Copies of this chain bind each other. A is one copy, B any other.
Amino acid sequence: MEALINYLLQFGHLNQQQIDLVKSKGVLRELKKDEYYAEAGKTPREIAFLTEGIFRVCYYNKQGEEITKYFIDENNFVVDINSYNQNIPSSEYIHTITDCRMIIFSKEAMQELSMTIIGWDVIISKITAKGFAEKVNKISTMMAEDATERYLNFFTKFPKLANRIPLSYLASYLGITPSSLSRIRKNISS
C-alpha cells in the first residue's frame, strides 16, 4: 500500500485521513504468471495498481496475430480506461508474464473516493494523462527508429524487465518477428 500512496502523493496532496480512506478501499489480489487480469469482450469494473510483477497488454489483429501493445511494470495503474469510463467491453487482454501482486479499486470504491476526497479526480486524471503521454511518446519514438535501436532502448527503459520477458512477446512489441529479433541480438553481442 505504501508504494501506492507515495505514487499518488506525486500528483496531489492527501491528508492522513484521506490516505487511510484510500487504503481502506484497496483490496489486495495476486495472480500467477500466465493468467489474464482482463480479457477482450469484458467490461472492466475496477482499476488495478500493480505493485509487483509485469503485465502485457495485447490484442489480436485482423490476421489473427497476437500483438503486444505495451508492457506495464511495478507502480503503475492498469485498466482500459475508456472501456472503464464508458462502460463498454474492452478490446484488449491484460496478461501476467510474471507472478503479480496488485491493489484493486472497484468502480464503487473509486466513486466513493471521488465524492469524499476533494481533488481526487484531478489526481486520477493527471495520472491517466501522464501514463498515456508516456505511452504515446514511447511508441511514437519507436516508429522513427529501426528495430535495433528499439531493442536497445527497450533495455534502457526496462533494464530489469528485459530478461524476464519472453522474446516472442518482445518481438511483437518491437514490431518485428522473433527471428529478426534473434538476429538483432546476435549482431549486438558481437
Seen from chain A, the residues whose Cβ lies within 8 Å of a Cβ on chain B are 61, 65, 67, 69-70, 81-82, 85, 121-122, 124-126, 128-130, 132-133, 135-136, 139-144, 172-175
Contacts and interface: CB of A to CB of B under 8 A. Distances in A.
A125 B121 contact: yes
Contact of A144 (B135, B141, B144, B172): B172
Contact of A67 (B61, B135, B144): B144
Contacts of A174: 143
Contact of A133 (B65, B67, B132): B132
Given A139-B139, A143-B174, 4 more contacts: A85-B130, A124-B125, A132-B135, A136-B136
Contacts of A67: 140-141, 143-144
B82 A129 contact: yes
B81 A133 contact: yes
A127 B134 CA distance: 17
Contacts of A136: 69-70, 132, 135-136, 139
A136 B135 CA distance: 7
A142 B139 CA distance: 10
Contact of A143 (B82, B122, B128, B143): B143
Contacts of A69: 136, 140
A124 B129 CA distance: 11
A129 B82 CA distance: 7
Contacts of A122: 121
A91 B65 CA distance: 35
B175 A126 contact: no
Given A143-B142, A144-B172, A128 B128 contact: yes
